[in-house]
Amino acid sequence: MKTKINQINKKVASLLKANNSTLSIAESCTGGLFSDYITNVSGASRYFSGSVVSYSNDSKENILKVPKKLLKNYGAVSSEVGLAMAAGAKKIFLSNIAVSVTGIAGPKGETKTKPIGLVYISLIDKNGIKLSKRFYFKGSRNTIKLKAVYEMFCVLYDYLK
């Protein structure tokens, strides 16, 4: 999995540079892992504006300005909150593109409607384009985090190409 992540990371880096795009990130369940991969590419400072790891609802609300009503009505693991997280990161870092991830990596935290492995990856760009994708990943906590990071790169790659 790590090899696949590194390969797509380089492709995304090339596209971000070629498009003169800037990227910001809001991470929850991946705990900064996506940002770590982004910064493993030499020259990432040309396109990477910054990131926020907003693990708690308080940090989502107070740093990323996710409306409390969204957190209450949909829960932290939702498309609605994912899009609000991306919007918050885009505003904080003044980037062209922002991506976010929120989910349940386990081994605890599941509910009847939100199982372990449920992840939302969202993207917002400077033109107001918004997308959010729902995934269900299987595996250990670390595996779920790695799969989420890979899919974040896939979402970015598909958007940029």
**For 22-50, what is each residue's pLDDT tens digit?**
999 999 999 999 999 999 999 999 999 99
pTM value?
0.97
Q: Which residues pair with 120 in a beta bridge?
A: 102, 134
Domain that holds residue 11: 2-160
Query: Over the Cα atoms of the chain, what is R_g?
Result: 14
Q: What's the number of domains the chain is made of?
A: 1
For residue range 129-158, list pLDDT tens digits in order.
999 999 999 999 999 999 999 999 999 999
* CATH number of residue 29's parent domain: 3.90.950.20
First to last CA, the chain: 22
